[in-house]
Amino acid sequence: MAHVLRKFYKADQHAAGSGLGLAISDQIIQLHQGELRISSKMGKGTTVHILLPVVR
């Protein structure tokens, strides 16, 4: 979990993809003063929460 937001990180090196998706998403969210939260339980699944401020 500590590395999932790093560019090019892939837990399974044989899996498809470049390992950029979460890193880019996190950067975009931060640029909007938001936060990306990830929680995961082995064998149960992963939940990703994207928190963005409300502008009124």
Backbone phi, then psi, for 42, in 5-degree steps?
-55, 125
Question: Which positions ≥6 away from 52 have C-beta within 8 Å?
Answer: 29, 32, 33, 34
Is residue 1 scored above 80 in pLDDT? Answer: no
Q: What is the pLDDT of residues 9-19, one digit of tens each?
A: 566 666 666 66
Q: What is the pLDDT of residues 19-48, one digit of tens each?
A: 677 888 999 999 999 999 999 898 999 899
CA gap 24, 35 in Å, rounded: 13
Say which amino acid occupies 5. Answer: L
Q: Give me the domains of the chain, ranges plus CATH numbers.
A: 1-56 (3.30.565.10)
